[in-house]
């Protein structure tokens, strides 16, 4: 992957020059892609798009929590290299080149207006994959799946990657039972260190408890205790 950077007074673009020509800032607009399909999950800000280079995911950055009621999609500008999309692109490229199971990044665009900016990132669409959150309980409550999830978490921690937003929605399972991670907006890389897995494991367990509450009306499910899932992940 050959990264290329292009900056204008009110926009900056980081992209894979081996795969793409220099992207147009218009490419971050959903309206530019007439066949864009809104994807489930997250904050309603990711779309599947079909391009001449293949199928990809376009993700707009949006806030959560109380702040989203005031300012949903704009962030304080503190330099182009500090914009969320460009930071995530660089980390995705680093992880992809290191062989970690993440989508390949295509391009990231940030646009500035005054002291605020908006941004978007486009990366590979992982065909035949679905999030763990979308699985039925019978499939989610499987020992081998959670053993593989534990191995996935350790793989990233051994690579010095901390994913502070890890949950069942951003771990994907493909048709061959392979696992991958997405949504590294707030993730970070700690150079030269292997990180403990406990924090990421605990985040997954809290997400499992939310999943359990969301399916509480299913009387047929024999729910497992988080401690048992943690044991499978060790």
Q: Which residues are catalytic?
A: 165
Please tell me the number of Cα atoms within 13 Å of 188 on its side-chain side: 7
- Residue at token pair 């763990």: 132
Which tokens in the block code for residue 172?
């994907």
Name the nearest CA neighbour of 195 among 160, 165, 153, 163: 160
String of DSSP letters for 1-27 = --EEEEEETTEEEEEETTT-PPPPGGG
Q: Specify the residue for token string 């207006």.
A: 113
Furthest C-alpha separation in the chain = 59
């Amino acid at each position: 992957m050959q990264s290329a950077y292009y900056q204008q007074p009110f926009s900056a673009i980081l992209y894979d020059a081996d795969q793409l020509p220099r992207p147009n800032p218009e490419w971050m607009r959903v309206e530019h892609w007439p066949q864009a399909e809104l994807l489930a999950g997250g904050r309603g800000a990711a779309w599947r798009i079909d391009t001449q280079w293949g199928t990809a995911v376009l993700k707009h950055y949006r806030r959560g929590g109380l702040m989203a009621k005031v300012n949903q999609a704009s962030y304080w500008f503190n330099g182009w290299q500090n914009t969320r999309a460009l930071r995530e692109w660089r980390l995705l490229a680093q992880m992809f080149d290191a062989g970690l199971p993440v989508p390949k990044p295509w391009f990231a665009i940030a646009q500035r207006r005054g002291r605020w900016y908006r941004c978007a990132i486009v990366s590979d669409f992982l065909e035949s994959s679905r999030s763990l959150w979308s699985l039925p309980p019978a499939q989610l409550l499987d020992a081998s799946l959670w053993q593989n999830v534990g191995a996935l978490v350790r793989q990233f921690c051994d690579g010095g990657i901390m994913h502070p937003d890890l949950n069942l929605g951003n771990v994907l399972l493909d048709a061959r039972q392979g696992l991958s991670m997405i949504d590294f907006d707030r993730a970070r890389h700690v150079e030269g260190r292997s990180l403990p897995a406990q924090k990421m494991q605990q985040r997954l367990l809290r997400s499992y408890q939310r999943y359990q509450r969301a399916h509480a009306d299913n009387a047929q499910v024999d729910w497992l205790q988080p401690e048992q899932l943690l044991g499978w992940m060790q």
